[in-house]
Chains A and B, each alone.
Chain A
Amino acid sequence: MSVILVLIGLSVGVAIIFLASFFWAVKSGQYEDTYSPSVRMLFEERKDKEPKKGK
């Protein structure tokens, strides 16, 4: 039955990892602006100097 203690330890451990990653997300400011990232990911990276006309 003591295996249950191991399991409890494991599950709490995993949860702590998630909690820590949540802390990291908050600290890195991911909750401060929830709009611009959604737009930013749609921008196309254009390496060329000349703007292309038409697609």
Chain B
Amino acid sequence: MSVQEELLTSNQTVCYHCGEDLGKEQLDFDNHLFCCQGCKTVYDILKDNGLGNYYDLESSPGLKVKEVEISDRFAFLDNPKIQQKLLNYADDQLGRVIFFIPTIHCSSCIWLLENLYKLQKGIRYSRVNFMKKELSLDFDPSILSLRQLLELLTSIGYEPNISLSDDGKPKKVRKDRSLYIKIGVAGFCFGNIMMLSFPEYFGFEGTIDNHIRHFITYINLVLSLPIIFYCSSDYFISAWKSLRQAYINIDVPISLGILVLFLRSAIEVLWNVGPGYFDSLAGLLFFLLVGKWFQQKTYDSISFDRDYKSYFPLAISRMKGEEVENVPVNDLKVGDEILVRNRELIPADGILVSQEARIDYSFVTGEAEPDSKSKGDYIYAGGRQLGQTIRLIIQKEVSQSYLTSLWNSDVFVKEGEDQHQNLINRISKYFTLVVLVIAFLAATFWWIVDSRLALQVFTAVLIVACPCALALSTPFTLGSISRLFGRHRLYLKNSHVMEKLASIDSIVFDKTGTITDAKDQSIHFEGVQLDKLDKQLIQSLVSQSTHPLSRKIDGFLKQEGAKGFMVEHYIEEEGQGISGRVNGIEIRLGKLSYVALRNNSDRIYLDSRDKSTSIYVAFEKETRGRFLLSNSYRKGLKPLVDQLKNYFSLALISGDNNGEKETLASIFPPQTDLQFKQSPSDKLEYIRKLQQKGKKVLMVGDGLNDAGALKQSDVGIAVTGDIMAFSPACDAILDASRFEDLFNFIRLSLIGKRIIIASFVISFLYNIVGLMFAVSGNLSPVFAAVLMPLSSLTVVIFTSGMAKLMGSRYLKS
């Protein structure tokens, strides 16, 4: 061991294997420190098998090994039917399988997984695809069963993600290689046509025989056939599809350009009047396809960000012994026990441990009536629990993509939202018409002046006006900006939201949980003194609810120890309160009107003059007192409002009473509409009224009791803090810590829109230059071949560069 390594080891504060903090139970083994038995075991296995190299490539490359009982977990893999689904190929000697292993993250992973054969007899070959995080394995089924293979991978910390889709075969996502082939073919034809056109470029007309020149142009014609029939097929198909739906997309003018270019060149060659534009045609296709490939790469890397960088800031309450801890949704593992409170989303498939549950699957099935489930039932992800908190044992890994698709489900598509009506398609409709008109006008003009040139000019216009740069600008800009937003914790449902965000003119805020910060609230109780048991009873009730005020009271009462009594008949009424039978005692919590059913005015505290929110408590219909919560507003609220008030009309709607009106009036500008005592349906109605006045409304809420308003609004942003109830009704999720940046987000989406318009201008300028040459009859093939890809390239560099520059100016990380 070298000196440096020795030094490193002696000062080691993190686990040699996984790089996590050593914690209390550190283990010293073989001069290295480990955080747990699991990591030590993996080190031991690797070292015994001569795989110590694993630790030389990267420091602490390993993965924390969860000490889970794996004895029976993969027993299902002994089932031949399941094996058949997983294996790509199987006979007596050879099994071939591809696993998706999300934990592959560094070069040590590649090394270890590709040296598996040293670790285990029976593994013949293993190969890692790092980009896709896939491991392909060949193994000998007579020595090693599939189950043993999985257990081996799991024991060293690389647990494959096995998904047995219902339709039989595991999804075989073969990447389409045809684009590469098409680029290759186009490049081949482009290069050869260019080479054969050299005599034309340099004007060697006198030096070559005429019949050789002919021969060369015929070769060019032959070389251009694969371009037309193979490389351009995607454009033709897409254009044809859109024409059949009586609608012009961006591929229509592109296809038109390609077709005209080819026909004209072919006619020139066959009629023996000129060399044609085969070089431009091949070059055009080559650059178009390269652009498409680049675009696909960018999209891939965006979807990569989406999948792996915790696209949803969704936290789950997981049981750790008797404690509850909040973990990001991605950390959930099969076998974890989780709590799902009232109105929370079920993040993954699981088995119900609690006695009963009522699950609302309206997001998934559209069915409004909740399903009743009882203990031991299998519950699918995507539903929402109604009523008391339930416990589940997770059976399947969380699928981010499933949650994303849920968010994008048709149920939540806003009325009047038409996918086709985005900017680019609106423009392309007129674009094609304008180009055709110009082409006809120019052709008519030349028909009169010099009829020989008429057809040439007509086709030249169509060729040079090809809108490839136009097609690239929108996806590149929207893509880079939504990516930027995600990095700063504003998660957009899709890039369409950004276009809408740029057009809003009014902002409506919800109060509780949105502009107030539940964490900094001070709280006290007044009324009949509560003893310890009372507090535990109330705590058990409030722990069922996800409402910010309930969370707050929960935290307050928990300080004296929680007991976790059984809660029956739990009911939560939006904007009113919660009630339930705890340990046989009926407890109601909430607004005075909700709690005080019986007239026992001697105990009622009607004083609502002070600036706090009051939550009343009743035991068996007898009012015991109230919790007083003084609101504290989110950091940065005042500066944010000051920024926003110059550009937008603001409004505030709150479910609470007007106790805080004065404070709010001092924060918000005088003309702000402050509405109090609004029920969830009032909020929705309020938004609708604003929209009827022609306003474009941004609703900022917490996604709990304003889901309807979020959905109704043009853009609905849910602000989420530590406990996050996922609300598919919103268009974007904003992490509460970035609340103060709201104005900058809106500003950036405006800038995004301007970038798109600017790039349109750039590509139009290119087109105008090209058109001027074309109309005047001077469009040389070389010029066309250079101009077209140049315009695409400029637009791509401009859009992604500007988005990055503006992002770093307005959003500080």
A interface residues (Cβ-Cβ under 8 A, vs B): 1, 4-5, 8, 11-12, 15-16, 18-19, 22-23, 26-27, 31-36, 39-40, 42-44, 46, 48-51, 53-55
Contacts and interface: CB of A to CB of B under 8 A. Distances in A.
B209 interface: yes
A23 B181 contact: yes
Nearest to A15: B192
A33 B132 contact: yes
B291 interface: no
Nearest to A37: B130
Contacts of B195: 11
A32 to B, nearest CB: 6
A52 to B, nearest CB: 8
Q: Is the interface of B mostly helix, strand, loop or mixed?
A: helix
Nearest to B180: A26
6 contacts: A19-B185, A26-B180, A26-B184, A39-B130, A42-B107, A51-B52
B50 A36 contact: no
B457 to A, nearest CB: 32
B126 to A, nearest CB: 12
B440 interface: no
A46 B50 contact: yes
A32 B129 contact: yes
Nearest to A26: B180
A40 B114 contact: yes
A8 B114 contact: no
Interface string B475-517: 0000000000000000000000000000000000000000000
A23 B631 CA distance: 67
A20 B53 CA distance: 39
A51 B110 contact: no
Contact of A39 (B47, B52, B107): B107
Interface residues of B, number: 35
Contact of B110 (A4, A34, A40, A54): A40
A46 to B, nearest CB: 7
Given A33-B130, A36-B110, A1 B209 contact: yes
Interface in B99-144: 107, 110-111, 114, 128-132
B50 A49 contact: yes
A35 B130 contact: yes
B128 A15 contact: no
A-B CB proximity, top 8 nearest: A51-B52, A36-B130, A39-B107, A33-B129, A35-B130, A26-B180, A19-B188, A22-B184
Interface in B11-64: 47, 49-53, 57
A54 B1 contact: yes
Given A26-B184, A51-B51, A51-B52, 11 more contacts: A1-B208, A1-B209, A8-B219, A12-B192, A15-B188, A15-B192, A19-B184, A33-B128, A36-B131, A39-B107, A53-B1
B152 interface: no
Contacts of B216: 8
B177 A31 contact: yes
A54 B749 CA distance: 55
Given A19-B185, A23-B184, A27-B177, A51 B130 contact: no
